[in-house]
Amino acid sequence: MRIDWDAYERNQLPPAEMAEVKAALKADPDLRAEYRAFQSFKNDVRASVKTEPVPMERLRYELQTVARPSADPHQIRRWGVVFVAGAALLVAMVARQQFDNDPLRFAKSPEVEQLAPRTEDDAWRWLRKEAGYSDVTPVQFKTPGLKFSLVRKGEDWACMDYILDGDTVRLYMKKDETALRNVAFQSVGNRYLYIGNGIGWRTGGFVFAMQGTSNEKLLNLLRQAS
């Protein structure tokens, strides 16, 4: 049986053939091994390219240089637009002030590097050996369905991105003695946590923050983490 695994994975086989392949996969261990070989090869190819660092800071600078000398040349400038923009700016400034005061907002400097290593362990290894976070203790999540995505680094922060139920869950960390100093912690299980726009805690000279989904889901993730 010659199967187009690509079409199968992309759900592009005709329904009858799709059902046939599913049944064959259940019944035939050799076919399952062939499918795994296909997936493994594709994952390796993807990881081989995505593990190379991307110089985000320089690329973003290039983009700004290209895009900012003048506004979009085809944009129609209208007084109405200017007025709406002014009002939006005012609202944004108020929102920004609140945003800046958020004690869990760690990524205040631009992202400088990002990697998509093959595994979460590789990401922690990179953080500890290459990115200057040698003494950070990895947070090991054990929640089924939580999928590691990539690791990013800013000037004074790092972040592991995960996917949970379609949401991107972010675990920020930074070495900062002053962060999360003047906030009220709650005792949850065996941890002291700050619960606000996400969840934060301090440990081993580092501060951590988790954001990206409901606090309830974040707490569940943390309960099952070591």
Partner 1 sequence: MFNFLRPNFESSIRRELPMLYRVARRLTSCSEDAEDLVSQTLVSAFRGWHTFDGKYLRSWLVKILRNERGALVGEKNLMAEIEDLAEHPDDKPTWEVVATKFELEDIRREIDQLPFHFKMPVLLCDVEQMSYEEASQALEIPIGTVRSRLNRGRNQLKRKLSQWTREEVRP
Using CB under 8 A as the criterion, which residues of the chain lie in contact with partner 1 when the complex forms? 2, 4-6, 10, 30, 33-38, 40-42, 44-52, 54-56, 58-60, 62-64, 66-68, 72-76, 78, 81, 114, 118
Residue among 115 and 207 whose Cβ is closer to partner 1: 115
Specify burial of residue 206 (Cβ count, 10 A radius: 0-12, 13-18, 19+): middle
To partner 1, the closest distance from the beta carbon of 101 in angstroms equals: 24
Query: What does the block give as tokens for 121?
Result: 């362990």
Residue among 60 and 181 whose Cβ is closer to partner 1: 60
* Spatial distance between the Cα atoms of 196 and 148, rounded to a whole number of angstroms: 24
To partner 1, the closest distance from the beta carbon of 127 in angstroms equals: 18
Residue among 84 and 183 whose Cβ is closer to partner 1: 84
Residue among 41 and 135 whose Cβ is closer to partner 1: 41
* Spatial distance between the Cα atoms of 4 and 20, rounded to a whole number of angstroms: 13
To partner 1, the closest distance from the beta carbon of 11 in angstroms equals: 11
Residue among 15 and 80 whose Cβ is closer to partner 1: 80
Residue among 4 and 135 whose Cβ is closer to partner 1: 4
Q: What is each CA distance from 25 to 22, 28, 30, 63, 142, in whole angstroms?
A: 5, 5, 9, 47, 28
Residues 6+ apart with CB under 8 A from 148: 119, 120, 123, 160, 161, 162
* Spatial distance between the Cα atoms of 122 and 27, rounded to a whole number of angstroms: 35
Closest residue by Cα to residue 35 from 43, 221, 68, 109: 43
To partner 1, the closest distance from the beta carbon of 155 in angstroms equals: 18
Closest residue by Cα to residue 133 from 77, 99, 172, 182: 172
To partner 1, the closest distance from the beta carbon of 50 in angstroms equals: 7
To partner 1, the closest distance from the beta carbon of 38 in angstroms equals: 5
